[in-house]
Structure 1
Amino acid sequence: MTEPSGAAAEGRSVFTRPAKPPRRQPGLSRDRIVEASIVLLDREGPASLTMRKVAAELGVHATSLYWHVERREDLVDLAVDHVLAPEAAAPLAQLDWDATVREVACRLYAAFTRHPWAALFAGTRPAIGPNALVLAGQLISALAATGATERDQAIAGTAVSNFVLGAATAAAGAQAMGLSDPESPQAKEVFARVSAVAETPDSHRIWQSFFDEGLELLLTGIRVRLDAADAGSGRS
């Protein structure tokens, strides 16, 4: 099989391209580049991520990075997957399907809200890194345990994933607008319009409560759909 070239090769993910052999360059590795990218992103936000700035963070010339990563998109994909590592590595209890879905969804949301840039990037890039695939596999396994059709499993899994990403992106946007500080004029104006949370002093809990309650609403909808499918098939 021939290797893709041109636009096809450029479009391949860093996770699907053949790995290059190690290069002897003291103090520089892909792991160090990813860690420096995350430090930069946490400090300055998504617009800051460039090869030049990451190289400056490491104290090397930008051309030194290109043996380890080919382009900025590689930094994005590797950084997003890296922040999911603690959630993917944590043991998952043997729970009912809905409790497992809730747990995986909460882990994803926690990772994305710890690093708000990750949610913004994850919405524009395919999540096919090893840690993302572990979490996706846990979600798929939990939904498969329901006995639902593959179509219903796919719909439910997509709904949960989209909800997590949307909720985390909204929280990240709120933080970027200064709404993470409940005493800021922007926060007071917005919260005053939402009577249910106007007296809540901790804005982080506001977004967390929206996520928690929204997730429960979604899980309720999935249960209703599965129950209706069972009734229609005569399995109940």
Structure 2
Amino acid sequence: MATGARHTDRREDALSRERIVDAAVELLDIAGESGLTFRALSAQLKTGPGAIYWHVANKSELLDAATDAVLSAATTGDHAGSPAERIRAVALGLFDAIDQHPWLAPQLANNPWKSVTLQLFDRVGQQVQALGVPSPAQFTSASALMIYILGAAGQNAANAANARTQQPDGDRAALLETESAAWERLDRAGYPFLHDIAAQFREHDDRAQFLAGVDLILAGITALRPQG
């Protein structure tokens, strides 16, 4: 009986909350939110659902924990440089995390006031303050950055998912060529702008474009600082 108890203790110790969250992230990456079930998680961890419920109350808590784990790893750390460079580092960390884990985008969009999102907002806001933005404009400035960062990163993830559907072999260049050619075939009188930028779209880099957007917003924010 004592030997069996020791074996049970070792098994319970091995099944930690961290292991469960790591396995949940793997499932989410493979199958998305709909594929994350306690049955699938139990099979992956080779345990029963009851053992998982001991550490995590429900799927909502598990999704929150998985989101926190991925974003904390991607956006925390001591970033050197100016406040603007620190904002870029946080933005790119988030962009890359959502690009690698597309299920993050709807989690952040549907739960904008969860702790991890608030932490990101606070980090961006601190750097907005460090830029010398006047107090009345700090909330709007930080909000504009967060809305762009979350929205653009989420849209990139959605575009990537659509691209995989249209181009299963992952040939992004071929997809961009197809899309830009379609723009060029549109009626110029009705779509003059799309005709003008079709060549740029064909060769653009999503990550570089995202960062350029951050820089545009930063340029507007820094213009708010008192002159002199």
* 1:162/1:190 CA distance change after superposition, 3 Å: same
Q: Are 2:103 and 1:117 equivalent residues in the alignment?
A: yes
Distance 1:183 1:213, change over 3 A: closer
Task: Give the number of the structure whose alpha-carbon radius of gyration is greater.
Answer: 2
Asked if 1:59 is matched to 2:46, the reply is: yes
Q: Distance in 2 between matches of 1:127 and 1:150?
A: 25
Residues 199 and 133 of structure 1, relative CA distance in 2, 3 Å threshold:
closer
Per-residue CA deviations over 1:25-56 (Å, capped at 9, x if unaligned) read 24211111100011111112232122222222
* Bigger helix share: 2
User: For 1:36, which of 23, 44, 47 is the aligned residue?
Assistant: 23
Judge conservation of contact 2:176–2:202 (CA < 8 Å) in 1.
Answer: no
Kept after mapping to 1: 8 A contact 2:133/2:221: no
1:1-236 paired onto structure 2 within 5 Å: 25-93=12-80, 95-125=81-111, 126-129=113-116, 135-178=120-163, 181-182=171-172, 187-192=176-181, 193=183, 195-200=198-203, 206-224=205-223, 226-227=224-225, 230=226, 236=228
Q: Distance in 2 between matches of 1:88 and 1:136?
A: 12
Alpha-carbon offset, residue 82 of structure 1? 0.7
2:198 is paired with a residue whose SS is coil
Q: TM-score, normalised by structure 1?
A: 0.73
RMSD value over aligned CA atoms? 2.6
Gaps of 5+ in 2: 1-9, 165-169, 184-196
**8 Å contact 1:38–1:79 — kept in the other structure?**
yes
Q: CA offsets, 1:82-123, max 9 Å, x none?
A: 112333443211x33222222221222122222111122111
Q: Residue deviations 1:131-154, cap 9 Å, x none?
A: x56544432221112333434111
Instruction: Check whether the contact 2:24–2:41 (CA below 8 A) recurs between aligned residues.
Output: yes
Q: 1:165 Cα shift?
A: 0.9
Name the residue aligned to 1:15. Answer: none
Q: Distance in 1 between matches of 2:180 and 2:52?
A: 45
- Paired residue secondary structure (2:205): helix
Q: Distance in 2 between matches of 1:208 and 1:70?
A: 37
Shift of 1:72: 1.0
Once residues 49 and 150 of structure 1 are traced to their aligned partners in structure 2, the CA distance between those partners, rounded to angstroms, is 43
Shift in CA distance, 222/70, structure 1 to aligned 2, threshold 3 Å: same
Cα pair 1:120 1:169 within 8 Å, conserved: yes
Amino acid at match of 1:195: A
- TM-score, with normalisation over the residues of structure 2? 0.76
> Are 1:97 and 1:146, in contact at CA under 8 Å, matched by a contact in 2?
yes
With over 3 angstroms needed to count, the CA separation of the structure-2 counterparts of 1:178 and 1:88, relative to structure 1, is closer
- Which structure has more RCO (C-alpha within 8 Å, separation ≥ 6)? 2
Provide the C-alpha distance between the structure 2 equivalents of 1:98 and 1:219, rounded to a whole number of angstroms.
7
State the distance in 2 between where 1:151 and 1:68 align.
44
Q: Partner amino acid for 1:171?
A: N
Contact between 1:40 and 1:49, CA under 8 Å: does it hold in 2?
A: yes
- The residue that corresponds to 1:16 in the other structure is none
CA contact (8 A) 1:88 1:134 kept: no
